[in-house]
Amino acid sequence: MRRPLILLTVALTVTAGLVVCGLLLPGEEAGRQQPPAAATPLSGLDTDALVAARAAFCDAVPAAWVEDVLGSEPSQAQAWGNGDTLPAAAGVRDVAHEFGCRWAAGDLAVEGWVFAPPVTAARARELVGAARETTGCTPLPAAAALGSPSVALTCGAPHGQSTATYAGLLGDAWLTCRVTGPAARAELAETADRWCGMVLAAAGAG
């Protein structure tokens, strides 16, 4: 599993995702593919009874959703699977025990990941407790739940940036979604709420 600080369960530094399904709007012309329907923000969902798959999902995240939340086409895109080496962060190289992905454009980045091993409710409560004790992090006010139990935090990040991270248990899957941007960005929490809704929809949680 990740080192302490890596998940939001455990981390601020290393990046990483969920379960997927993208819906297409009916085409006006037969055989014409339309853009995917917009995802409901996390705050508009009741996630207490949802479950997510512990499997790769990144290929199913619509490019239109990523561009929408970033505000432009991503300049960076990364994905990893169980057993892969995680992208380097702060000089740390870790082996992933999760499925995840990250996109970035300008000074904004979004990411999501899901643990490959199953997580029990007891272990999830431990992860929530550890996350809340992470130095430099504070609870996200009025945050929506991402499963049960769940946690939502804002944390300081290097280079004048901040992170807004949600994590929680959906069935036996521990899922995390995160947005990183300038600390002065007032709508960072709102962006995270929208992104987590996209992650859940892409993850096919149900």
What one-character DSSP code corresponds to residue 42?
G
pLDDT of residue 12: 34
Split the chain (206 residues) into runs of 10 and give each run's mean pLDDT: 38 35 35 68 92 89 95 94 74 79 96 96 97 94 94 92 95 95 87 94 73
Q: Which two tokens stand for residue 3?
A: 């080192």
pLDDT of residue 88: 60
pLDDT of residue 68: 95
pLDDT of residue 203: 79
| 76-109 CB burial, b ≥16 within 10 A, e <16 | eebbbebeeebbebeeeebebebbbbbbbbeebb
Q: Give me the residue spans of the domains in the chain.
A: 42-202
H helix or E strand, kind and range, residue 201? helix 188-202
Distance CA 20, CA 29 (A): 26
pLDDT of residue 191: 95
CATH of domain 42-202: 3.40.1000
Distance CA 1, CA 81 (A): 13
pLDDT of residue 93: 67
pLDDT of residue 23: 29
